[in-house]
Structure 1
Amino acid sequence: AMITVRATVTPQLAPPVVEGIDRAQVLSLLWSVWPFPVLVLGVLGGIFGGFFTPTEAGAVGAFLAATVALLRRSLTRKALAEAIRQTTLATSSIFFLSIGAVMFTRFMGLSGVPRALTDMMLSVSDNQIVIILMIAALFVILGMVIDSIGLILLTLPILLPVLEAADINLIWFGIICIKLLEIGLVTPPVGLNLYVLHSALSGEVKLRDIISGTTWFIAMDIVTLFILIAFPAISLFLPSLMAQ
């Protein structure tokens, strides 16, 4: 809706496409993107069909991606070695974060910080909405400088006692948490998606232009966040059906 309104008010943001395209070009374009629906259907279809778990879906996705690359003759030794190198680096980073988070959690438990934080937040207000808003502000600020996995591992061990003491539904908070992490992925200076987009465009668009272009999307994310906080039933409707 935001994109439609902005394009209507400022037509130069989305000028009309005057270049024609024939059926042969359409078929050629569709053929060039066939791996994407294959991966999506193969992974998500297997999860929802009950053939494998979400954890196993990662291995299935990797196998399908390797098969597609092999069929398209793009799975060279150099590409495979680079993929293995990047996977090793990413996995190692996650392990180091996990190890640090375990040590941090034990330290927090011994120091009594979670209990002190719980008492402090509850002394401000015991209203669930107010507590969620305070946590949301914390996540937005930390999300600017900490990546998503690190933010989860560092904050949840501290915040869980607060949530339990305030009797906040953890499913509701989990969905709000995901939205907060999504906001963190597009807020500088450590907005991972900003750098992914900049890399995908091969530097054709300056990073500062990408950052300024995300302002409206961040605003819409914040609006969505407030709606999820104000109306918990939106997040809890489907889980309530499963409980029945």
Structure 2
Amino acid sequence: MDPVTVGIIGTLGVFLLLFLGMPIAFALMLVGFSGIAYLSSFEAALPVVAQTTYDVASHYPYTVIPLFIVMGGFAGSSGLTKDLYGAFDKWLRKLPGGLGIATIGACAGFSAVSGSSVATAATMGTVALPEMKSYNYDPALATGTVAAGGTLGFLIPPSIGFVVYGMLTEQSIGKLLVAGMLPGITLALAFIAIVVLLVKIKPSLAPTSPEPVSWSEKFNSLLGVWEPMLLFLIVMGGIYLGFFTPTEAGAVGATVLLLVALLKKKLTWGNLTEALREAVRISVMVLFLVTGANVFTYFLALSTIPMQVATWASGLDVSPYLIHTVIILIYLFLGCFLDAISMMVLTMPVIFPVVQALNFDPIWFGVVAVLMMEAGLITPPMGLNIFTVAGVAKDVSVETIFKGVTPFLLAVFVVVALISIFPQIALFLPQMMLR
């Protein structure tokens, strides 16, 4: 068989193995190894798998992954979540859907010290859902707000999504993290607009809190915001100004949060071991996914499929933005069945060469890709954040959460359209970086 046919059969084989229940990392690795062995030789395929596994596991910049995860664990241990939510609650509760707006704001704040969207949704769910329930918020709105707000952890830096994209495409992780700042703020504001709009249309969704809050209480609550703000400025400011690499920034952030938790006397042995265990679990998962994707990429390179698809796409007599729209629709479809990181490692070997052939900025496309992965976290029937919130809100059905989160998907698409029309929203800060 010619190499292209082998590549097509291999790609279909990956989806077949996924359908049969094989983990995506092993499916990619098995098909990649088999394809290299067929197109080259068994002797050539063995060292590719061994060397790729070693290279990924030993690559120093990838230590940023466990450091960002540990940051999130220490942030939860030090009580930042309750302090953040309390501050936003006191300032915003009188607005339409005030507790929902406070939840989005607190999710954005927690995302600034945690690289995990699932951790953000789970942590904020335990704090915000009981409060909204006590004020008779509609269950769909309450759970949908937490699930959508949790996705900000995948976009607002420090973000594991940008780290994985940078690993797969060999782009600057520092620039990608900085590029997510303005789109992250824009998406948080769009989520807030959705909450306000829904409550304006149907006020019974979110009864207004009758309890007055004095100005002294409001200003005292700001004491709970300075820690994540300071940490965000240290971590992202250090990357932006060229003082730290992303890995060094992760180490600094994790150390600062460890000291905060110790000073507050809120770090227990159980919290510490749980944070470290979670860091190991997620890091190993991501590194195996990237290893499998790299082996599969070698196979696809031998099959010449990425080059031929890129050449074909760039030669089409259509607007590049039409192809860009098709890519977004592909991600929307895949988001119904795959988790965010798996979707990224599965598609980038083919899609990224197309993006390069169309002369799209890779940093800008990284933001668009992460936004679509974010949409996948709340897209039925496999939205990971939805099942995370369902685990916290045990009295609310999954169907209700899906109903509540649907309007927030519209906000994601609006932000994707804005960034597509005005790329400088994503590129302005990276272009101003000192290195």
**TM bracket (short chain):** 0.7 to 0.9
The residue number in structure 1 matching 2:280 is 88
| CA deviation after TM superposition for structure 1 residue 53, in Å | 2.1
Q: Which of 390, 393, 407 pairs up with 1:216?
A: 407
Tell whether the 8 Å contact from 1:129 to 1:230 is kept in structure 2 after alignment: no
1:200-231 deviation line (CA, Å, top 9, x unaligned): x4535444333221111101211222333345
State how 1:92-241 maps to structure 2 within 5 Å: 92-118=284-310, 121=313, 125-199=317-391, 201=392, 203=394, 205-232=396-423, 235=426
Q: For 1:164, give the aligned amino acid.
A: Q
Q: How does 1:51-70 map to 2 (within 5 A)?
A: 51-70=243-262
Compute the displacement of 1:33 (Å).
5.3
**How large is the RMSD of aligned CA atoms in angstroms?**
3.0
Q: 1:239–1:25: structure 2 CA closer, same or farther, 3 Å change rule?
A: closer
The match for 1:48 is 240
- Aligned letter for 2:371? K
Distance 1:210 1:34, change over 3 A: farther
Task: Confirm or deny: 8 A CA contact 1:136 1:180 kept in the other structure.
Answer: yes
Cα distance change on mapping 1:76 and 1:172 into 2, 3 Å: closer
**Which residue of 23, 29, 39 maps to 2:231?**
39
Whether the 8 Å CA contact 1:176–1:228 is kept in 2: the answer is: yes
CA–CA distance in 2 between the matches of 1:16 and 1:64?
A: 38
**How far, CA to CA, are the matches of 1:139 and 1:60 in structure 2?**
34
**Contact 1:126 1:166 (8 Å CA) reproduced:** no
CA contact (8 A) 1:144 1:188 kept: yes
Cα distance in 2 between the residues matched to 1:236 and 1:22: 41
User: What is the CA distance between 1:10 and its match in structure 2?
Assistant: 1.2
Letter of the structure 2 residue corresponding to residue 127 of structure 1:
S
- Which secondary structure does the structure 2 equivalent of 1:214 belong to? helix
Deviations 1:82-107 (A, max 9, x none): 11111111111011111101111011
- 94-103 vs 49-58, which moves further: 49-58
Write out per-residue CA displacement over residues 129-169 of structure 1, whole angstroms, 9 at most, x where no aligned residue: 11101111111112233233332222222122222333333
Identity %: 36
Deviation of 1:37 after TM superposition, in Å, equals: 2.9
1:6 equivalent to 2:188? Answer no
TM-score (norm 1): 0.82
Relative distance call for 1:11 and 1:82 in structure 2 (3 A) is: same
After superposing the two structures, state which structure 1 stretch, 143-152 or 129-138, moved more.
Answer: 143-152
Greater length-normalized contact order (CA 8 Å, ≥ 6 residues apart): 2
Compared CA separation, residues 69 and 233, structure 1 to 2 (3 A): closer
What is the 5 A alignment of 1:65-80? 65-80=257-272
Larger CA deviation: 78-87 vs 168-177: 168-177
Kept in 2, the 8 Å contact 1:43–1:61? The answer is: yes
Structure 2 portions without partners, runs of 5+: 1-192
Equivalenced residue count is 242
Deviations 1:171-220 (A, max 9, x none): 43233223212212222344333344445x45354443332211111012
2: CA distance, partners of 1:236 / 1:38: 24
SS in 2 for 1:19: coil
Unaligned runs of 5+ in 1: none
Q: 1:33 to 1:147 in 2, by over 3 A?
A: same
Q: Which moved more, 1:102-111 or 1:115-124?
A: 115-124
Amino acid at match of 1:75: L
- 1:186–1:194 CA contact under 8 A, matched in 2: yes
The residue that corresponds to 2:208 in the other structure is 16
Task: Summarize the Cα distance change of 1:7–1:160 in structure 2 as closer, same or farther, 3 Å threshold.
Answer: same
| Counterpart-to-counterpart distance in 2, 1:50 and 1:239 | 11
Give the aligned residue type for 2:251. A
Contact residue 311 and residue 357 of structure 2 kept, 8 A: no
Separation (CA, whole Å) in 2 of partners of 1:23 and 1:159? 52
